[in-house]
Homo-oligomer: A and B are copies of this chain.
Amino acid sequence: MQSGKVRIALALKGIDYETVPINLIKDGGQQFSKEFQTLNPMKQVPALRIDGLIIGQSLAIIDYLEETRPTPRLLPQDPKKRASVREISNLIASSIQPLENLSVLKQVGKENQLTWAQKVIASGFTALEQILQKTAGKYCVGDEVSMAYLCLVPQVANAERFKVDLTPYPTISHINKTLLTLEAFQVSHPCRQPS
């Protein structure tokens, strides 16, 4: 799921790639293998090998793809709109997602995981809903597809996995539904991935 953003970016930009599935649970977590650690010392997915580089961190990968393969664009041309897209993307990638990833949930303990994840997502979505009510058009910021959607769709899928009630977030739900009709989101949906 954490690789979702990158898979959607690759699909939107029409970049062919080979997937090496890393099962985060099997064998005690394949991300801890020596082989994977040479790819990404942070022991987290995703890591992308491209142009002789290995890049970790989803947003860093997407920025590199945007700078080297600019079509179709994932950031608006207007700097103010770019700032909104980056604020939304970072809010999800830095203030929600890291707090509900597998290593944190392990620390929190099995009996508290669901409540913890729900609280983290609800707090982030309350902020996100307020921001999107100001910025959204057809999508997160106006009517352009952008990096922000790449972050939103996998995060809403996570919220559903943790049974978060989405009723208080009508703008988030509406944009997510619109985005899911795009082909790039369909080919990269988690249920289509090798496990």
Does A11 sit at the interface, judged by CB under 8 A? no
Query: Beyond A79-B68, A94-B98, is A60–B42 a contact (Cβ under 8 Å)?
Result: no
A92 to chain B, nearest CB (A): 10
Cα of A82 to Cα of B60 in the assembled complex, Å: 9
Residues from chain B with a CB closer than 8 A to the CB of A119 are 107
Query: Which positions 105-147 of chain A face chain B at CB distance < 8 Å?
Result: 107, 116, 119, 123-124, 126-128, 130-131
CB pair B59–A90 under 8 Å, yes or no, is yes
Residues from chain B with a CB closer than 8 A to the CB of A90 are 57-60, 93
Closest to A38 in B: B130
Does A83 sit at the interface, judged by CB under 8 A? yes
In the complex, which of the residues A40, A64, A87 has the most CB atoms of chain B within 10 Å of its own CB atom?
A: A87
Residues from chain B with a CB closer than 8 A to the CB of A130 are 41
Task: Of the listed stretches A48-56, A161-169, A181-189, name the one at the interface; the rest are far from the partner chain.
Answer: A48-56
Indicate which residue in B59, B79, B99, B126 contacts A67 across the interface (CB closer than 8 Å).
B79
Residues from chain B with a CB closer than 8 A to the CB of A59 are 59, 86, 90, 94
